[in-house]
Structure 1
Amino acid sequence: MTTFILQHVPFETPGILESLDSYTLIKLYEGMPLPSVDEVSMLIILGGPMSVHDSIHWLEQEKQFLKEVMDASKPVLGICLGAQLIASVLGAEVYS
């Protein structure tokens, strides 16, 4: 099991999170596949300029994956867009 970081765009990097001992960076904008929920020990979701309401194929897959991770009671940290995605998946209204 490992920590996974989801990156939405090349210019929104993990930054200081790169100092974590071990993590796997998933570049969604490059089409990298999401791991299985069983592989995740922690999920970190970075920011991006898009909205949670945008019709982006991988964004919809990410929301479903995020729901599955949270349903499995895995720790999740959302930064900017990542926090909005968490709120949206939990049923909160997110304004653009």
Structure 2
Amino acid sequence: MRINVLQHTPNEGPGSIQLWSQQHGHEMYIYHPYQFGGVLPTAEETDMLVILGGPMSPNDDLDWVKQERKLIAEMLKQNKPMFGACYGAQQISKTLGYPVSKAPAKEVGWAPIYLKSEAVSGIPKKLTALHWHEEMFEVPDEAELLFSSDLVKNQGFVLNHKIVGLQFHFEPMPDNVREMVVNDFPYIEGSKLNQTAQDILDYPVPGENQEVMFRILDYITE
């Protein structure tokens, strides 16, 4: 399987998604459209698409942001698996015709999320995830709400056994968290989670997050 990853900032990489790919013997290609003139794969050369987070918004008037949605639309048409994290989930929702808007609260740091659907088996009812956002997607009518948090209802959706979008991050491993914090610590200001950069660094990444990330990837590629 060829997994094409759209990465949108240097400090938010595929993390455990890359580990899952390696363990399954897949080939992963990582694209950086924000840096290299909007270079993107085609749907025809994509068996699975991963759209990662980033500081931009789907509402930004940027050609490559719009081109990503054309790729997502083609993936939807071809019924191929997709996973979106944060901005990536927002891009999927916007491609389906739903707005992306300011969330009720800016969430940056570790906070619990709660399972709202049994579509993906074996996921605990409550987990602690890394949040790094202040916008949110609308859950498409054709999708199921997958997760919610205490501050923001729309934290995840699952669609057609092929697509999962999460507003938060399951994919970062400890080194990834450190990379996010040391580079993007100013973004923590104003978060309703009231955590400092050191608080976020000191919190151990839950081992079950990787397990759940793997379950989600297994589910959309079954």
Question: TM-score under structure 1 normalisation?
Answer: 0.91
Structure ID, larger Rg: 2
1:18: Cα distance to partner? Answer: 2.0
1:94 partner amino acid: V
Aligned-residue offset at 1:67 = 0.8
Answering whether residue 118 of structure 2 is matched by residue 94 of structure 1, we say no
Moved more, 48-57 or 27-36: 27-36
Q: Secondary structure at the match of 2:49?
A: strand
Aligned 1:1-96 pairs, distance under 5 A? 2-19=2-19, 20-21=21-22, 22-31=27-36, 33-96=39-102
Bigger helix fraction:
1
Unaligned runs of 5+ in 1: none
Report the aligned-residue RMSD. Answer: 1.3
In 2: Cα distance, 1:30 partner to 1:61 partner: 14
TM-score by length of 2: 0.41
What secondary structure, in the 3-state scheme, does the structure 2 residue paired with 1:4 have?
Answer: strand
* In 1: Cα distance, 2:45 partner to 2:54 partner: 24
Report which structure shows greater RCO (CA 8 Å, sep ≥6): 1
Partner secondary structure for residue 99 of structure 2:
coil
Partners of 2:88 and 2:40 lie apart in 1 by 15
For structure 2, list consecutive stretches of 5 or more residues without a partner in the other structure. 103-222
Give distance in 2, aligned partners of 1:6 and 1:69: 14
